[in-house]
């Protein structure tokens, strides 16, 4: 899981562009007023932080779920052949 991933040239370009756009969105937060239904939503940078965190939680949750529900590919095969 922790093997270093090689990033291709186009991949690096994509990451660079993404960083620029994300930075722009952070700046925009202080220029554009976001209408909020809930107090939490009105917190500065709520969506940016929530998006980042939620993604990590989804992936982390998946890793934990794997321990619970991952089985060999032929798990049901024995039943089918029985």
61 binds other proteins (CB under 8 A): yes
Q: How far is CA 62 from the centre of its chain?
A: 11
Cβ neighbors of 44 (< 8 A, separation 6 or more) are: 29, 30
22: tokens are 């994300």
54 binds other proteins (CB under 8 A): yes
CB 26 within 8 A of CB 48: yes
1 binds other proteins (CB under 8 A): yes
User: Whole-angstrom Cα distance, residue 49 to residue 12?
Assistant: 23
63 binds other proteins (CB under 8 A): yes
3 binds other proteins (CB under 8 A): yes
27 binds other proteins (CB under 8 A): no
Binding site for other proteins (CB under 8 A): 1-5, 7, 11, 15, 18-19, 21-22, 25, 28-29, 32-35, 37-38, 40-41, 45-59, 61-63, 65-66, 68-76, 79-80
């Amino acid at each position: 899981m922790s093997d270093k991933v090689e990033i291709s040239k186009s991949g690096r370009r994509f990451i660079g562009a993404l960083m620029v756009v994300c930075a722009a969105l952070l700046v925009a937060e202080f220029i554009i007023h976001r209408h909020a239904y809930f107090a939490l939503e009105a917190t500065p940078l709520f969506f940016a932080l929530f998006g980042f965190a939620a993604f990590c939680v989804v992936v982390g949750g998946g890793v934990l779920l794997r321990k619970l529900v991952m089985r060999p590919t032929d798990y049901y095969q024995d039943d089918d052949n029985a």
